Structure formats: C-alpha cells, structure tokens
Structure 1
Amino acid sequence: MEKMSVSCEDYLEAIVVLGGSGRHPVRSVDVAESLDVSKASVSKALSILKERGLVDQPPYGDITLTEEGLEYGTWVLDRHRLLFKFMTETLGIDSATADEEACKMEHAMSDESFAKWSAFVNGLERD
C-alpha cells in the first residue's frame, strides 16, 4: 500500500471512525468537526482522496469510502488504537496525551518497525 500524507491518512481515519463505509455515508461537516478543520479543508482533502480512488462523493453529497479507502483507513485506525492501548494500559500515560502522541506515532513509524513493535507487544500480552 503506497503511503499517503499524514493529513490524508487523518481524513481517512476520521471517515472510518464516523462510519463512512460503502453503505454508511458521512457528511463533510461531520469530518470537519471531528478533525476541527474548515469545510474548505475537508473539500481539498476529499479531492485528493477521490483522485486516489479512496472515497466517493457526488457533487454536494455525502462521503463514502471505496473498498481500498476503507482498507487504508482501517489500517491507520488499527495502528492508532494499538499504540493508544499500549501507551495507556502498559505505560500508564493519560488518555489525552496518549491519543495525541499515538496519532503522531502511527504516521511516523515505518511498516517494518510497526510490525516488529506490534509482534513484541502481542508477545507481552501472551506472557
């Protein structure tokens, strides 16, 4: 999967969290509120995501993720959730800090490093 910008990954993740699957469209205004950005910013990001074939949106319509968009957005969200869980449950970091830092880390870690870290964390849970 070709990596995208941090911003585009955040938009995909937000759409997944809001339930933007093929059967459950979400509104641009909800994405804007979720990310605390302007509707114009959402519109610009959606243009990029549409070009990449990750979202569908008819003119002035609601947003749905394509199969590839749902897969990519879910991948980003899963990374975030695993990092957040480790930081809060294992390290005892407060939720607000862990959420903010997990968001930064989910984008910064290479796939290879994340896979090794994830395997390590999963090994800890089995012990």
Structure 2
Amino acid sequence: MEKMSKSHEDYLEAIVMLGGTTEVSVRSVDIANKMGVSKASVNKAVTALKEKALAEQPYYGDVTLTEAGFAYGTAIYERHCMLSKFLNKELGIPADVAESEACLMEHAISDDSFEKWRAYIKKLDL
C-alpha cells in the first residue's frame, strides 16, 4: 500500500490502539481524546480515510476500519511498539523519550528498511 501522510497514519494507529478493528468500532470523541485534537479534526481525518477506503463511518456514527485500514494501522502500531521497545530496552533511552521518538521514526522508515531492521531485531530476541 502506498504511504500516506503522517497525520493519517497517526489516526489509523490511534483507532487500532483504542481497540478498533473491522468488527469493533471506535467513537470519534475517543479518537479526539487519545490524540489531543478536536472532534472536528477527527471528522476531517476520518473523511479522508473513508475516501481512501481505509475506514467506514455511517452518518455521525462510530468509526470502523476496513480490512486495508486495519492492516495499515496495525503495521504502524507494530512499528511503533518495536521501535519504542528497542530504544528503551536496548539503548537505555527513557521510556517517555523512546515513545515520542518512536512515533517520529515509525513514519520515516521505509517498508524495506523496517523489514531488514525487524529481521535484525529478531536475531537479538527482544
């Protein structure tokens, strides 16, 4: 799947973190609270995700991910968790710093580089 904006990736990741799947929906207000943004910002982002066939939302209803949206959001969340854990446990970076830096890195690394890094990490047995 082609890369999308950091912002849209963050929304997909937040929905996954809140327990959203293809079957379980998430309320817009919960997404707004998690991300520290307004409900209007969530509505704008969800509209863009719907246009990309990554999310579904009935008129003023809760947000559900499509299979593609769930796969993309889960991949971003997995990157985040692996990067944060590596920075914190292997490099000794404080957890809060590791968390915020992982959030930046998860969007910048290419799929190919991430796969090579993941293979390397598996050898370390983290």
What is the TM-score when the length of structure 2 is the normalising length? 0.96
Amino acid of the residue matched to residue 108 of structure 2?
A
> Which stretches of structure 1, 4 residues or more, deviate above 2 A after TM superposition?
none
Distance 1:50 1:9 in 2: 13
What are the residue-to-residue correspondences of 1:1-127 with 2, within 5 Å?
Answer: 1-125=1-125
Corresponding residue SS for 1:59: coil
Query: Which sections of structure 2, spanning at least 5 residues, go unmatched?
Result: none
Q: 1:56-112 CA deviation, whole Å, 9 max, x = no partner?
A: 000110000011110000010010011011011111111110110000000001111
Distance 2:82 2:114 in 1: 10
What is the TM-score when the length of structure 1 is the normalising length? 0.95
Distance 2:82 2:42 in 1: 26
Question: Per-residue deviation at 1:22?
Answer: 2.2
Corresponding residue SS for 1:69: helix
Amino acid of the residue matched to residue 73 of structure 1?
G
Amino acid of the residue matched to residue 101 of structure 2?
E
Q: Pairwise CA RMSD of aligned residues?
A: 1.0
How many residue pairs match? The answer is: 126
Distance 2:76 2:36 in 1: 19
Question: Per-residue deviation at 1:125?
Answer: 1.8
Question: Per-residue deviation at 1:23?
Answer: 2.0
Percent identical: 57
Distance 2:29 2:95 in 1: 26
